[in-house]
């Protein structure tokens, strides 16, 4: 089969092209090669042989085998995933399919009428063996889409024939139902009219229903992804089906077990989110909940990456409905991740931006930032990030409740423990954070546990460099134009509360 495939594929047998392409040592060798090519074209790849070869490949070598059915029943996800990784160099059917594609590409005008006649020949077959042949013929139609487009009247074929065939719920027909879903996924990107595209959407949804075989459902889901990932995709045609499609995809995501399959279904959801944008808002909360359920300490790294990508695709228009669930997912991801990644770090600016919102979710946002600091302090606490973080937290000091200030100071204390003073000293001053803390201390704007934590913060910095603390206090007095001995007032406050200072929390 490999020899036949390579012989068919070698276009240099046509019109003496071999002489220009072949890197032979001598002219004699080139002449021999050209003569061999002429003989192959004239005596091997004859019109009769090409016709017989095409029909034989479809009817004998592209059929599903008993071992295919056994693997389908025993391990549907594994069997379907294996189809995507089949090695045509070592497996007969994939090699035959590739040989057929090469043959159809080289002899398009000659073979298209034969393929069309095969489609008509299998129109009414119902017995199992004939269904296998019909499956192979439909496989040929899918593989030959580039050659058959414009020559096979595909839209009437879909609406008048495939729709009727799919109404047969006989269990034996699941072979054909899978193949129809696969074939439509190959053709749906080929300038299909809006009316026919709607019919194809309905077919995909029918094949994705929960009473269908899992292999059929997954194949249809992939077909739906191909449909929305088309260059000529028109969102208006899919919006009426979006609710059903997302419900079926999310149910499918709950049922699959293998990581490879899960990642594929997630990629289908990602593709739909990319193309439909704000129309996905009603389903975003369900997606977030499913992502949370899929994440765990034993989740494979590739699957973790897929989940992070999906999380980032949730549209900004939906954040008011999703923020709380999204923050839970985000924090869970960070808690379960053993090592930092570029995908996770790329989300950090979004966490910092969320500090501009009200304090309703402040605790969760700060927990996320805490997790970033512990997971990757070097990347998280780069000077630019620190300045943004300290500036945003400075704005909240004095305008937040006592409990919120405690959360803020905890995050600051964690940051100061994670990087050297040389890195955080300048951002502390530039942000105005320490000036704000000093002001509320002197003006008694915070009390109890919160003021104790603020004093702890100064104690931590003083351990690193007492002179730096004194300079910050003096600089704050100048900037705020505070009268009197500001340094003495701060030290008095500090000494007054020194008995309440405690170990780092």
Cα dihedral across residues 154, 156, 160, 163: positive or negative? positive
- Residue-by-residue DSSP string for 400-441: S-HHHHHHHHHHHHHHHHHS-HHHHHHHHHHHTHHHHHHHHH
Nearest-angstrom CA–CA distance, 263 and 412: 37
pLDDT number for residue 7: 72
Using H for helix, E for strand and C for coil, what is the string for 219-271?
Answer: HHHHHHHHHHCCCCCCHHHHHHHHHHHHHHHHHHHHHCCCHHHHHHHHHHHHH
Nearest-angstrom CA–CA distance, 407 and 427: 20
Whether residue 298 has pLDDT greater than 80: no
Highest mean pLDDT of the ranges 110-119, 281-290, 355-364: 110-119
3-state helix, strand, coil in the chain (%, to 5): 80, 0, 20
Whether residue 201 has pLDDT greater than 50: yes
| pLDDT one-digit tens code per residue, 102-143 | 899 888 999 999 999 999 999 888 788 889 999 999 999 999
Nearest-angstrom CA–CA distance, 303 and 484: 61
Instruction: Look at 128-137, 333-342, 375-384 and tell me which has the smallest mean pLDDT.
Output: 333-342
Nearest-angstrom CA–CA distance, 201 and 87: 31
Nearest-angstrom CA–CA distance, 29 and 22: 9
| pLDDT one-digit tens code per residue, 15-39 | 445 445 545 456 777 677 777 777 7
- Residue-by-residue DSSP string for 135-147: HHHHHHHHHTHHH
Contact 294, 307 (CB under 8 A): yes
pLDDT band at 145 (very low <50, low <70, confident <90, very high): very high
pLDDT number for residue 24: 46
CA distance between the termini of the chain: 71
Helices 402-418 and 448-464 cross at an angle (nearest 10°) of 20
Question: Between these two residues, 323 and 62, which has the higher pLDDT value?
Answer: 62
| pLDDT one-digit tens code per residue, 439-477 | 777 766 555 666 777 777 878 888 888 888 888 788 777
Whether residue 13 has pLDDT greater than 60: no
């Amino acid at each position: 089969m490999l020899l036949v495939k390579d012989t068919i594929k070698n276009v240099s047998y046509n019109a003496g092209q071999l002489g220009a392409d072949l890197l032979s040592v001598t002219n004699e060798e080139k002449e021999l090669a050209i003569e061999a090519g002429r003989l192959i074209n004239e005596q091997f790849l004859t019109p009769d042989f090409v016709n017989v070869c095409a029909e034989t490949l479809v009817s004998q070598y592209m059929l599903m085998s008993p071992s295919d059915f056994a693997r389908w029943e025993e391990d549907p996800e594994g069997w379907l995933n294996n189809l995507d990784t089949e090695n045509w160099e070592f497996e007969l059917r994939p090699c035959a399919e590739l040989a057929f594609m090469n043959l159809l590409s080289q002899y398009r005008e000659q073979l298209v009428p034969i393929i069309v006649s095969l489609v008509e020949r299998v129109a009414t077959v119902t017995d199992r063996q004939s269904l296998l042949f019909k499956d192979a013929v439909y496989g040929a139609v899918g593989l030959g889409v580039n050659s058959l487009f414009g020559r096979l009247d595909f839209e009437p074929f879909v609406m008048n024939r495939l729709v009727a065939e799919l109404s047969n719920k006989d269990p034996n027909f699941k072979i054909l139902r899978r193949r129809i879903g696969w074939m439509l996924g190959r053709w749906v990107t080929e300038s299909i009219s809006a009316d026919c595209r709607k019919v194809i959407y309905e077919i995909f949804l029918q094949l994705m229903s929960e009473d269908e075989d899992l292999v059929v459902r997954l194949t249809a889901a992939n077909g739906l992804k191909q449909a929305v990932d088309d260059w000529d995709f028109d969102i208006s045609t899919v919006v009426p089906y979006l609710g059903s499609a997302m419900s079926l995809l999310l149910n499918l995501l709950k049922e699959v077990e293998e990581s490879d399959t899960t990642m594929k279904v997630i990629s289908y959801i990602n593709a739909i989110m990319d193309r439909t944008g704000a129309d996905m808002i009603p389903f975003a909360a369900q997606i977030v909940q499913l992502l949370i359920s899929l994440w765990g300490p034993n989740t494979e790294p590739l699957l973790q990456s897929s989940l992070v990508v999906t999380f980032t695709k949730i549209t900004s228009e939906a954040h008011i409905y999703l923020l709380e669930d999204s923050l839970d997912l985000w924090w869970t991801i960070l808690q379960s991740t053993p090592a930092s990644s570029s995908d996770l770090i790329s989300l950090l600016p979004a966490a910092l931006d969320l500090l501009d919102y009200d304090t309703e979710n402040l605790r969760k946002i700060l927990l996320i930032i805490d997790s970033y600091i512990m997971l990757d302090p070097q990347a998280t606490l780069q000077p630019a990030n620190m300045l943004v973080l300290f500036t945003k937290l400075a704005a909240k000091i004095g305008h937040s409740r006592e409990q919120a200030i405690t959360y803020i100071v905890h995050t600051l204390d964690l940051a100061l423990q994670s990087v050297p003073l040389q890195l955080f000293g300048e951002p502390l001053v530039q942000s105005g954070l320490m000036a704000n803390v000093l002001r509320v201390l002197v003006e008694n704007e915070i009390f109890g546990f919160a003021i104790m934590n603020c004093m702890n913060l100064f104690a931590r910095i003083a351990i690193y460099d007492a002179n730096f603390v004194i300079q910050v206090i003096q600089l704050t007095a100048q900037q705020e134009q505070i009268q009197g001995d500001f340094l003495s007032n701060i030290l008095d406050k500090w000494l007054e509360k020194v008995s309440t200072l405690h170990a780092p929390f």
